[in-house]
Structure formats: structure tokens, C-alpha cells
A and B are shown apart, each in its own frame.
Chain A
Amino acid sequence: MKQLRYLFICTVAIAIAAAGCGGGQDKAGEEKAPASGTPAADNNAAASNAVDPKGIGKFRDVQLTHPLDEAMAKKGLEIAEVKCTSCHKTTEEKLVGPGWKGVTDRRTPEWIMNFVTNVDEMLDKDPEAQAMLEICMVRMPNQNLSDDDARAVLEYMRKLDGKN
């Protein structure tokens, strides 16, 4: 399993190097949008030409409440501190994964929920998730969040982004 992943990451890494982009964080940031020319991206482009902003997974329609659910956000914070904040800061700064500031503006609620509950399929097939992998170079671990856990973390992200 691990070897497979390593192989995959290597393939992506070689493809990036071939594309002439081996650089630092800033450069990598610029590379985010195009993300084509890698074998993995080619495969997926063929599979699904239209990028689904909701990602891949069972969440198709996440109902948000206004104002946000403070109790749920608190639970989300608790889960995040065990399972997420080793790699994600709550600011814009990238640690292992991207900072969470503004994530609820960049992504749909469904995409976030699908990504954290369906990590491997998203990393293998979703173009946006793959683009992030090329920047971060570490596959986001599947932290086995339950649906409720994922929803709570989403609420915490909304709170961080000042949503109401």
C-alpha cells in the first residue's frame, strides 16, 4: 500500500520536474491552477472532463445553518485538534497541508466534506485535490472522520472564516 502511494507520488514528482517546476513554495503555489501535463491528471481529464465543484463522494447537498451552530463548531475544534491541526494551521500559512483561512470560500461545503471522508478517491480522481497534492507532496492521511465529525469540522472552518 505504502509502496503504491510512494510510486504514485514519485510519478507525479517526476512529471512536475519534467514540466520544469521543482521550485519553492511560491512557484508551487503558481502551479496550482493548471495542473495538467501529469499522467495522473491526463487520466482523470479523460475520465471526467467537467470538474465537479462538489468533489467526489456521497455529499451532494450539505445544508448550512445561519447563524452557524456554535456547539457543532466547538466539537469541530476538538476533533481538529486531535486529527487535523498537526498539519493544518488555522491561518493562511501552509504547514504540511494548506492553511484553513478562507477554505470555506475556496471550496464548496460538499467538496470539503467529501475530501475529508473520501480522501483516497478524491486524491486519486478529483483534479482540485490532485492539484493540492502536487503542491504539498504528502497525501492527506485518511483520518477516518465520521460523517458527523466531518460536518463538525466544516462548522469550525466556517467559524474560522467568520461566517454566520
Chain B
Amino acid sequence: MKLPPLLLAAAAALTVQSCKMKSTESAVGGDAAARTYVAPGKYDELYNFVSGGFSGQVSVYGLPSGRLLKVLPVFSVNPENGYGYSEETKPMLNTSHGFVPWDDQHHLALSQTNGEHDGRWLFANANNSPRVARIDLKAFKTMEIIELPNSGGNHSSPFLTENTEYVIAGTRFSVPVGNAESPLDNASYKKNFKSTASFIGIDKHSGHMNVAFQIILPGMDLDLSRAGKGPSHGWFFFSTYNTEQASTLLEVNASQKDKDFIVAVNWKKAEEYVKAGKARKMATEYYHNTFNEENHAATSEIIKEVLTLDPEELKDLVYLIPCPKSPHGCDVDPSGEFIVGSGKLAALIPVFAFRKFVKAIEDKAFEGEYNGIPVIKYEAALHGEVQKPGLGPLHTEFDGKGNAYTSFFVSSEIVKWSVKDLKVLDRVPTYYSIGHLMVPGGDTKKPYGKYVVAYNKITKDRYLPTGPELAQSAQLYSIEGDKMQLLLDFPTIGEPHYAQAIPAEKLKNQSVKFFDIAKNKHPYVAAGEKATKVERKGNQVHVYMTAIRSHLTPDNIEGVQVGDEVYFHITNLEQDWDIPHGFAIKHAATAELLVMPGETSTLKFVPTQPGIYPFYCTDFCSALHQEMQGYMRVSPKGSNVPLKWHTGGTDPTAAVAAK
């Protein structure tokens, strides 16, 4: 049969179209829209905290809508609200190597009590300049950042124990301890490079972090980690790669062995050794930055020593379990009995049983030692293997019904399998190249379940094209039925790695609405317009300024000279929710301030030329927001214009000699 060309083309087009529609239909069920629709004015069911990857920040989405609620500045400066620019927040980003304005943020952990999310704090890791941050979940604010000594690539972090006793920080990039210089070759790596597992102790009440002790391990890459729970509480498990100990071309050289290790650390034992004085005090230097809620400002403290433990000397502290091959995820199921290693280059998923692991130690079922650390026989600790699950397994989460969900980067899919009998139950495609995945509470003793979210590396044709750089994405699937069902796609900021989610009920009622002005202990607070003033101390000029709808006081300032360091200390006098005021001044080489109600924040400006410098409120606050403006007069250096300031005609006006 011959068809006219035009008809043929039409038929082809029809085929293509019907094909596409069919695949869309099969991928997204008919009620997906209804199940993710959150009507205007309604709240989402869950808060979803998503790591920002190379953005350095943490984003907060609502689930199931996928609506972006907030971007929390953590490891990168944020000109949008002045984080890292204001005098109060600059110390948060101090490190032993100076002020660092950026990092690569990979993993998040919500604090836990009895193995369940308790809604108090969120911990975040920085991969590049090794640090861990604590975010307060009442104010949604980064309160603390601690640096890790003897670390490189803080990747297997900030996973935590079931009562938040410790947050972990393990090195992806081994480095010589003490940051000593060393030649770069494989022999030098084997001899000098060490990986370290730092246990950050968390104060039960304040959440304050301190590096309690570090376990010095042979040089290799500690990739990811999980604390034991229930029966395995007291242990921490790390996945490793590059147990070949190569310093170059790891793509090939770290893929030589068929098995690397799960490193099992007995941290209760470590505590005993520390108590018994078996830890070594080592001189070092690292920063601990804390934001003070009362004076609305951060300070940096330099810590000069760390306690280290050596597992080559202290036996029964660390054991190694062989794990195929270059494992990435290392995940513990809700019962605490099973440990899942996801070998990126393995064609199966090994599942280890904690009970068998303990027995193997008792029976001394070792196959040898690795750098002085006992290696347990693979079969002795093995519960079983999931056969032919997919290509490139990365991470596993759990639903609390005995099922596991593993992400597969190479075959772009999520595979559901049964922990008990290791049978594959279901698989769904992801679009495309999934990295992490997250079941709400899926890392706890009591998963919330209901959804699994895929965090994808590649989006290609999923959204309108935006040049060479495309958004990365999250995909929401229902796991309520036997079959997983795709419900929603939404683009994310930066590159999402691991994420956490918690029922909104656990957080929303504790949210801070404003800071009590009566409790503001900032040294430069102006609690009321009567307290506003301008003071000169040498070449420093301190402006005690207030903001309220809709004026700044003082709004006319004279007597400032070229080269002066002018500090605008802005106190927002508002005592109501959702009324921040902004502050910016022309030609200031810094970002704006966004000052929350009851808070004081400081912008530093050093004018380089005489003239008139307008300043204004940057956050639309009222009908007369446009009127919320003022002027600073800057005179040449040595000018005799006296320092004076005012707002309105009859307000307190003061004048003092310029010098």
C-alpha cells in the first residue's frame, strides 16, 4: 500500500504524539494532580528539607505540593538577607583558613529522640571546607558551625545517633593528620594519609556541638554512614571506597578490588576508651562559630586541641566488613538489625545482619587484617543479597512496613524490595539519573512513609529549556499501594543530595514569629526612637537607627567624612509577624540587611567620596514604604561639618564637634 507523502507524515506525527501521550499517562496516574494539590491558603502535610549541594544552602519545600517555602542560608553568603555580609553574621563563615563564602552542602539530619525526629534541630554538612552546621527549627536559622580538624571532604556527615548523642563527620578525602605536607604518590598515600571519623557531641539541651573525639583510620574514602539503632545502637557504620589507597586516577585505581568495606565503629567502646584516658590529645586549630539569640550576633572561638583514638592500638573498637564494590550508601533499616551496602559498581545489593556481625566477632570469624584492623568474613555477617536489582545502586530508605527503596543512578530507577526475603517487588523510572532518595522518616525507627522522593541529577527534557544549565529536580512518588506511583516533578535549587522530611504538625506551631525587643541584648540596640543616636569614636561612626512602618530614625545624618567606617546598627521596632525591614545605602560595597522584627543588624559602609548618599528600606512594608528613605551627607576628610542627625523637624537633634 502506498500513501501520499503528506498523509504519511501526518500518520507519523500522530504515532509520535500518541506514543508520548501513552508514556505520560502510564507514568502519571489520573489522580496525581488531586493528590498533590494543596489549595491556596492551605498548608502542606510535610516540611521537606533539601540539601542545596553546590549552592551551599538548604531549601525548604512543602510536600506534597513541591512548593518552595524558604532557602536557609548555611554555608554560602546570601546577599538576599545579608547573611555573611552583616557584621553579626560574618563570624559564622570564619574558618582556620579565613572567611570562606561558599561550600558544597550534601546531607541533612533532623535531630532524633528515641530514634524518631523530634523537630528541634537540623544538621548540615559542608563537604569542601569540612564543617557541620546546626540549624534551629524554631527560628529556621543557622545557629552554629563547627569546623573539623584532620579532615578532607566531609562527606559521610552529618548522620546522627538515635538520641542525637553524636553527629558524625567522616572524611571522603584522606589527608595527612595535622595537615602536614606530603609527596603525592601512592606510597606516600599509604604511609601518611589517614581518614578520620569525628564524633561531634551534642548538648542535650542547647544543641551545642563539640568534637568529642576522632578515630584515626587507614587512608581510604569514607563515603556515607549511618548510626545503628535499637539492637545496633552504640555502633556507627561507614561505607568506603578506594581501599586500594590510590592518590591518582581513582576512577580506575579505586575500582580494582571486588570488595571494599563497611567500617563498623563501636562508639560506646570509644567513649569508654576516652574515659579511661586512652585518647591522645593532639594540638590542632579549628573554628567554632556560634550565633547568640539574645544579642543577635555570632562569635568565633578557636579550639586548639582534639582527642584522637587509634584502632590499631585499641582493639575491638573498629571492624571491617567486606562489601562489593565501591559502596556508596550505607543504610540501617528501622529495626536496626539490617545494614544495606549499595555498591555503585556491584550487580547486587548485600544486606548484612547485625546479629550475625556480632556473632562473627565473638567467633573470631576473620579473614585477616587491613592496616591492623580485623576484617570479618563476608558470609559470616551477610543476611543475603538482592540479585539483579538494577545498575548503580546508591542509597536505600525504608517505609516501616518491611520494604526498602533503593535508588539506581545508571538505570535511572527506584527499586522496591523486601528486606526479609530480598525479593524485588516493584520498580519505577526516574527522570533522570537519580542520586539520593528520601522516604519521610525513612532513616528513623518509625518511618512516616506515604511518599518517596527522588532527587535527580539530570532533567534534560523535563522542563522548558534555560540554556546550557538546567534545573535539577525532585520527583514525588506515592508508596501507599503495592506499586509506586509518580505524582509530581519539581525543580530544586543547587544540586539536591540527601533530604529529610517531617510532618508539619511537629514544627509549625513552634515557629518563631518575631524577636521580643525587650530581650534584645545587642550592644548597639536602639529600643525605641529615644535611644537613637550617632556616635563618633575616632574614624568609626556608629549609627543607632530604628525602623518601623514607615520611617528610619535618624533619616538625615551629617558630619560623616570620607574614609570613616560607618556602622549602621538597625533595630527593627516592629513586634509583629512577617514585618521585616530592609536597609541599603548607595555605593556600599556590601549586601542589604534584612532585619527581622525585634532584631538588630549592622551594615558597615566606608565612603570613598564626598557627596549625598541616599538610604532606604528594601522590603515593602506598608503603603508608605516608598517614603521610608533618608540621606547621609559625606564631607571630605578633615571637614568641620559637625556630626548631627534627626528625623522630622522636632525630633531629638544633636550636634557634637566633628572631631
Distance between Cα atoms of A144 and B512 in the complex (Å): 13
Q: Does B514 contact A (CB under 8 A)?
A: yes
Distance between Cα atoms of A53 and B576 in the complex (Å): 26
Partner of B530, one of A2, A9, A81, A145: A81
B648 / chain A contacts, CB cutoff of 8 Å: 95
A13 touches B623 (CB 8 A): yes
Partner of A96, one of B527, B528, B551: B551
Q: Does A36 contact B (CB under 8 A)?
A: no
B549 touches A83 (CB 8 A): no
Known: A85-B530, A144-B514. A138 touches B624 (CB 8 A): yes
Cβ < 8 Å to A, chain B residues 533-572: 546, 548-551, 553
Q: Does B575 contact A (CB under 8 A)?
A: yes
Distance between Cα atoms of A142 and B576 in the complex (Å): 5
Q: In the complex, which residue of chain A has the Cβ closest to the Cβ of B571?
A: A82
Q: In the complex, which residue of chain A has the Cβ closest to the Cβ of B574?
A: A141
A87 touches B548 (CB 8 A): yes
Known: A83-B575, A141-B574, A141-B579. A96 touches B530 (CB 8 A): no
A96 / chain B contacts, CB cutoff of 8 Å: 549-551, 624
A141 touches B578 (CB 8 A): no
A141 touches B517 (CB 8 A): no
Known: A81-B528, A83-B517. A6 touches B573 (CB 8 A): no
A86 touches B576 (CB 8 A): no
Known: A6-B623, A82-B573. A138 touches B528 (CB 8 A): no
Q: Does B399 contact A (CB under 8 A)?
A: no
B553 touches A139 (CB 8 A): no
Distance between Cα atoms of A143 and B575 in the complex (Å): 4
A138 touches B550 (CB 8 A): yes
A83 / chain B contacts, CB cutoff of 8 Å: 517, 528, 573, 575
A86 / chain B contacts, CB cutoff of 8 Å: 528-529, 546, 548, 551, 553, 573
Cβ < 8 Å to A, chain B residues 515-535: 517-518, 527-530
Minimum CB–CB distance for A139 against chain B, Å = 7
Minimum CB–CB distance for B31 against chain A, Å = 32
Partner of B576, one of A82, A137, A144: A144
A2 touches B578 (CB 8 A): yes
Distance between Cα atoms of A143 and B597 in the complex (Å): 10
Cβ < 8 Å to A, chain B residues 431-474: none
Q: In the complex, which residue of chain B has the Cβ closest to the Cβ of A84?
A: B528
Q: Does A1 contact B (CB under 8 A)?
A: yes
Does more than half of chain B's interface fall in helix, strand or loop, or is it mixed?
loop
Cβ < 8 Å to B, chain A residues 115-164: 119, 137-139, 141-145
Chain B: interface residue total (CB-CB under 8 A)? 26
A138 / chain B contacts, CB cutoff of 8 Å: 549-550, 622-624
Distance between Cα atoms of A6 and B622 in the complex (Å): 7
A119 / chain B contacts, CB cutoff of 8 Å: 576
B622 / chain A contacts, CB cutoff of 8 Å: 5-6, 9, 138-139
A9 / chain B contacts, CB cutoff of 8 Å: 622-623
Minimum CB–CB distance for A30 against chain B, Å = 20
A85 touches B576 (CB 8 A): no
Partner of B549, one of A81, A141, A144: A141
Distance between Cα atoms of A2 and B546 in the complex (Å): 20
Q: Does B577 contact A (CB under 8 A)?
A: yes
A82 touches B624 (CB 8 A): no
Distance between Cα atoms of A96 and B553 in the complex (Å): 13
A13 / chain B contacts, CB cutoff of 8 Å: 623
B576 / chain A contacts, CB cutoff of 8 Å: 119, 141-144
Beta-carbon contacts of A1-28 to B below 8 Å, as 1s and 0s? 1100110011001000000000000000
B517 / chain A contacts, CB cutoff of 8 Å: 82-83
B549 / chain A contacts, CB cutoff of 8 Å: 87, 96, 138-139, 141
Minimum CB–CB distance for B645 against chain A, Å = 15
Partner of A141, one of B530, B546, B551, B575: B575
Known: A82-B527, A141-B549. A2 touches B575 (CB 8 A): no
Partner of B620, one of A2, A82, A139: A2
Beta-carbon contacts of A64-92 to B below 8 Å, as 1s and 0s? 00000000000000000111011100000
Q: Does B493 contact A (CB under 8 A)?
A: no
B623 / chain A contacts, CB cutoff of 8 Å: 6, 9-10, 13, 137-138
B573 touches A144 (CB 8 A): no
Distance between Cα atoms of A122 and B573 in the complex (Å): 21
Distance between Cα atoms of A145 and B550 in the complex (Å): 20
Minimum CB–CB distance for B558 against chain A, Å = 22
Minimum CB–CB distance for A117 against chain B, Å = 12
Distance between Cα atoms of A145 and B516 in the complex (Å): 11
B620 / chain A contacts, CB cutoff of 8 Å: 2, 6
A145 / chain B contacts, CB cutoff of 8 Å: 575
A1 touches B577 (CB 8 A): yes
B548 / chain A contacts, CB cutoff of 8 Å: 86-87, 141
A141 / chain B contacts, CB cutoff of 8 Å: 548-549, 574-576, 579
B624 / chain A contacts, CB cutoff of 8 Å: 96, 137-138
Q: In the complex, which residue of chain A has the Cβ closest to the Cβ of B624?
A: A138
A10 / chain B contacts, CB cutoff of 8 Å: 623
Q: Does B100 contact A (CB under 8 A)?
A: no
Q: Does B621 contact A (CB under 8 A)?
A: yes
B514 / chain A contacts, CB cutoff of 8 Å: 144
Q: In the complex, which residue of chain B has the Cβ closest to the Cβ of A140?
A: B549
Cβ < 8 Å to A, chain B residues 575-634: 575-579, 620-624
Distance between Cα atoms of A119 and B576 in the complex (Å): 10
B546 / chain A contacts, CB cutoff of 8 Å: 86
Q: In the complex, which residue of chain B has the Cβ closest to the Cβ of A145?
A: B575
Minimum CB–CB distance for B100 against chain A, Å = 34
Distance between Cα atoms of A119 and B579 in the complex (Å): 14
A139 / chain B contacts, CB cutoff of 8 Å: 549, 622
Q: In the complex, which residue of chain A has the Cβ closest to the Cβ of B577?
A: A1
A143 touches B574 (CB 8 A): yes
B574 / chain A contacts, CB cutoff of 8 Å: 141, 143
Minimum CB–CB distance for B21 against chain A, Å = 38
Q: In the complex, which residue of chain A has the Cβ closest to the Cβ of B580?
A: A2
Task: Give me 16 A-to-B residue pairs in the complex whose CB atoms sit less than 8 angstroms apart, sorted by A's number.
Answer: A2-B579, A2-B620, A5-B622, A6-B623, A13-B623, A83-B517, A85-B528, A86-B573, A96-B550, A96-B551, A137-B623, A138-B550, A138-B623, A139-B549, A143-B576, A144-B575
Q: Which 4 A-B pairs have the closest CB atoms?
A: A142-B576, A82-B528, A144-B575, A81-B528
Q: Told that A6-B623, A9-B622, A143-B574 touch, could you supply 15 new A-B pairs with CB distance under 8 A?
A: A2-B579, A6-B620, A13-B623, A82-B518, A82-B573, A83-B528, A83-B573, A86-B528, A86-B546, A87-B548, A95-B648, A96-B549, A141-B575, A142-B576, A143-B576
B binding-site residues for A, Cβ under 8 Å: 514, 517-518, 527-530, 546, 548-551, 553, 573-579, 620-624, 648
